[in-house]
Amino acid sequence: MPFDAILFDKDGTLVDFDRTWGPAAYEVMMTLAAGDDTAFRRLAEVSGFNIRDRKFATGSPFLTGALDVYGPLWAKALGRRDHARLRDEILGLFRITALNSLTPIGNPAALLRGLAGKGYRLGIVSNDFEASIRLQAGSLQIDEWLDFYAGRDSGFGAKPEPGMITAFAAFSGIAPQRIAVVGDTMHDVKAAQAAGAFAIGVLTGPDRDEDLAKFADCVIESVEDLPALLLQLREKRLASAHI
């Protein structure tokens, strides 16, 4: 097989972003606003959040997954200066609400079980926080097959920097050229390419940028199509070896 390991992005790849984080964000903002409709609407506005549809608009600061980006905006919208305390509140609330609305794309447990059974080493590299990644992996019942977790606070930097992927390469002893990275945004593609890994784009995230098709090594509709792609790449490699 052309790869020894596969690293997955989480949100938009294994997890439906809108159906998970839209309802979760709605509940968190409602809780923080504490019944103040004006404050709630300010939070939604600075977040690029459509209250009716409970979805984030393209370009929303929330789509970066970076609390240090949208956190100060929320603090200002709420008129709060206790930024450290607010940050802890937000993280705690999201851990609960995101689990309550967690919606997988396809059947991640069956997918990862099948890939692990074929000998692939598996991991998640996400710009979410590591504690949240681990909680959601447990809820999705995929933690049994994961060898590696990296979040934005794991000490390897955040995508599109390559640190998470090179950290996995060092951890596993697998060369980056033997690692496939599966993700739904250009952050995932750029991180994979910067690390020297193989970039596989999926079209199930909020980022519908056509650059995925231009710059990723391969693009598939969703992770459900990954086994077929891996088989196709393996057969192509075997055929070229016999030429």
Q: Which of 217, 236, 229, 175 is nearest to 4 (CA)?
A: 175
* Element at 56 (helix H, strand E): strand 55-56
- What pLDDT band is residue 1 in, cutting at 50, 70 and 90? low
**Model pTM score:** 0.92
Q: Exposed/middle/buried for 139, CB within 10 Å: 0-12, 13-18, 19+? A: middle
- pLDDT score at 96: 94
- Give the model confidence (pLDDT) of 6-41 as tens digits: 999 999 999 999 999 999 999 999 999 999 999 999
243 pLDDT exceeds 70? Answer: no
List, in order, residues 6 or more apart from 48 with CB less than 8 Å away.
Answer: 56, 57, 59, 60, 61, 62
- Give the model confidence (pLDDT) of 40-98 as tens digits: 999 999 999 999 999 998 888 888 667 888 999 999 999 999 999 999 999 999 999 99
Q: Residues 169-179: what's their mean pLDDT?
A: 97
- pLDDT score at 114: 97
- pLDDT score at 238: 67
CA angle, 27 then 109 then 233, to 5°? 120
- pLDDT score at 68: 84
- Give the model confidence (pLDDT) of 111-128 as tens digits: 999 999 999 999 999 999
CATH number of 5-16+104-241: 3.40.50.1000
- Give the model confidence (pLDDT) of 182-237 as tens digits: 999 999 999 999 999 999 999 998 666 677 888 999 999 999 999 999 999 988 77
- Rounded CA gap, 65 and 58, in Å? 13
Please give the C-alpha separations between residue 31 and each of 28, 135, 145, 167, 226, in angstroms, as whole numbers: 5, 21, 35, 37, 39
Residue span(s) of the chain under CATH 3.40.50.1000 come to 5-16+104-241
- pLDDT score at 66: 77
- pLDDT score at 56: 92
- pLDDT score at 213: 84
- pLDDT score at 240: 65
Q: Which of 25, 20, 99 is nearest to 61 (CA)?
A: 25
